[in-house]
Structure formats: C-alpha cells, structure tokens
C-alpha cells in the first residue's frame, strides 16, 4: 500500500501550549501542500497505474512540499524538498528511495546524510499544466491584473491587498484564480511555481516566516542561480518589479516525468480499464 503524503494539520481548538492536544479542529488546507496527491493521481492516470493487489508494508511517497523531515526509512521521494527550518537531527531516516528532489540544495542535504539523490530536479507542481490542459484554457481568460498570493502564515497581513488570493481552501479554485491573473507576486512558493508553469510573469517577495532555502532550492532546481532571480524585499517592491518581469522559465519536465516511480504500482491492463 502506498500513501501519498500531504501536510495538512488541524487548526488548534485550544490556546497556547494546549494547542498540541487539539485533535478535532478543521484541517488547515494550505493549497500548495495539497497539490502532491493531485499531481500523483494525475500521473498514475497518465501511465495507467493502480495499487498493487497483493498486500505488503505500507510506505509513503513524498512529492510536493518541504516535508522530508516527515519521511521514514524506505519511503519514496519524487520532488519533495527539505525544510530549511528543520535541523538535521529532526530527519529520522537512514535510507530513502529517492527518484527526484525539488532542487540541488535538497540533494546536497540528503547526500550529506549518506542518502543517494540523483540529479533530477523540479517541483512536481510544474507538471500541472501538462496534466490538466484546462489550466491553459483558464490562463487565456484573464479576470485580474495582479494576484497577491502570500504564505499561509501571512494571509492576515496581506488580505486587504488588491488582488489578494487566499492560499487556504480548495486548491482547484486557487489554481484557477492564479491562472486567470496577468501577473503574480507572493511569498507562497506554489503561487510562484504555478504562475511560472503557466507562463505568467511572477515575482516573489521575502517572507517573514520562511527562510530563503526553499525558494533558492526551487529556483536552482529549474536551472537558475541567485543572479538569475530577483526576490523583492516586500510587497511594494514586488509590485513594481513584476510590471517589467517576463516569464522566462526554460526548465524541461522530461527528466522529472521519467523519474516518476511507476514501479511502486501495477499497470492497468486493457481488459481491466
């Protein structure tokens, strides 16, 4: 049995330190963290894959998000990244089945732990326009000039900004709102990823709650260095910069697609389909 990991904690019902004991609150539903199972299911459909009928040990596939500190021995990695806020000793695994990672900074981290990580990079959310052709149709129907997509921890700070898109909620609604925007700014990594995947000019601005690690890892995973990407210091600067920004992503998806771990499922035969 293969579990597709998606970070989606419950909102605490209790205050302060008691929050850790809250088990029944509504799910947070940060859209970027919900994209992993969506992309994996679409990839399985693309390749005609289904769960193996025989029982076996459950393992987890990590695909999207800075969540590798949640992995355990023998889990499979296809596109996930390291969370720069987590210490090395918070990563409890000693062996992983790594097919691809978000970027070279994650690969270097894993290699320092003695984990083999191939030079196959890219956030799987970049594949969504290929897997959901309707996204390109949505992108042809612009309804907003600017989209502001903050990190979910900063949504209260930016909710009054013109073009604000709430990063919490139905991921398909948020994908459609980003696609319908002429330009995108944000501290949400996946707001930037989806914009770039759709050919929409995008500029990120520094987050007050996130370290630069995941942004730098993503940009490097798409072949760009620090001199190739401008991250604004704040929202006003991002709004100025995005007016002259161009959509110049030249990343090639083929290696990431080829690295998809088809072998952990079985292929659906013509008779079964």
What tokens appear for 225 in the block? 């260095």
Domain count, the chain: 2
Tens-place pLDDT, residues 74-128: 999 999 999 999 999 999 999 999 999 999 999 999 999 999 999 999 999 999 9
- Is 248 within the bounds of a domain? no
pLDDT at 245: 96
**Alpha-carbon torsion (153, 159, 163, 168), positive or negative:** positive
Cβ atoms of 124 and 39 closer than 8 Å:
yes
Same domain, 71 and 59: yes
24/234 Cα distance (integer angstroms): 36
Q: Indicate if 135 and 59 belong to the same structural domain.
A: no
Classify residue 71: in a domain, yes or no. Answer: yes
Domain shared by 130 and 118, yes or no: no
What is the arrangement of strands in the sheet containing 2-4, beginning at the earlier edge strand?
2-4, 59-62, 76-78, 97-100
Quote the domain boundaries for residue 49: 2-124+255-267
* 161 in the same domain as 194: yes
- 86 shares its domain with 194: no
Between CA 159 and CA 160, with CA 198 as vertex, the angle to 5 degrees is 10
Whether residues 259 and 207 fall in one domain: no
44-71: per-residue pLDDT in tens? 999 999 987 766 678 899 999 999 999 9
Three-state DSSP class for 60?
strand
Do 181 and 225 have their domain in common? yes
- 113 & 133 share domain: no
Q: Are residues 134 and 237 in the same domain?
A: yes
Answer whether residue 166 shows pLDDT above 50.
yes
Specify if 164 maps to a domain. yes
pLDDT digits (tens, 9 = 90+) for 189-247: 999 999 999 999 999 999 999 999 999 999 999 999 988 998 999 999 999 999 999 99
- My answer on whether 98 and 12 are in the same domain is yes
Give yes or no: residues 90 and 166 share one domain: no
Residue 85: Cβ within 10 Å count = 13
Query: Is there a domain that residue 247 lies in?
Result: no
pTM of this prediction? 0.92
Neighbours of 104 (CB within 10 A): 17
């Amino acid at each position: 049995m293969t579990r597709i990991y998606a970070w989606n904690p419950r909102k605490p019902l209790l205050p302060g330190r008691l929050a850790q004991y809250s088990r029944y609150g509504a799910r947070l539903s940060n859209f970027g963290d919900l994209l992993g199972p969506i992309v994996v299911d679409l990839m399985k459909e693309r390749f005609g894959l289904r769960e193996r009928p025989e029982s076996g040990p459950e393992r987890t596939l990590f695909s999207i998000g800075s969540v590798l500190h949640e992995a355990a021995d023998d889990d499979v990695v296809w596109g996930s990244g390291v969370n720069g806020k987590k210490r090395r000793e918070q990563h409890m695994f000693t062996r992983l089945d790594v097919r691809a990672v978000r970027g070279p900074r994650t690969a270097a981290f894993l290699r320092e732990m003695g984990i083999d990580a191939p030079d196959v990079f890219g956030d799987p959310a970049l594949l969504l326009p290929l897997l959901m052709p309707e996204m390109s149709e949505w992108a042809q129907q612009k309804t907003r000039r600017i989209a502001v997509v903050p990190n979910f921890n900063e949504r209260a700070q930016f909710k009054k900004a013109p073009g604000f898109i709430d990063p919490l909620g139905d991921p398909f609604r948020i994908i459609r709102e980003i696609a319908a925007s002429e330009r995108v700014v944000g501290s949400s990594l996946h707001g930037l990823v989806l914009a770039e995947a759709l050919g929409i000019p995008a500029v990120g601005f520094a987050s007050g709650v996130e370290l630069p690690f995941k942004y730098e890892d993503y940009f490097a995973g798409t072949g760009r260095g620090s001199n190739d990407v401008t991250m604004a210091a704040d929202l006003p600067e991002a709004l100025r910069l995005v007016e002259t920004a161009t959509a110049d992503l030249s990343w090639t998806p083929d290696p990431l697609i080829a690295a998809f771990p088809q072998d952990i499922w079985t292929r659906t035969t013509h008779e079964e389909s």
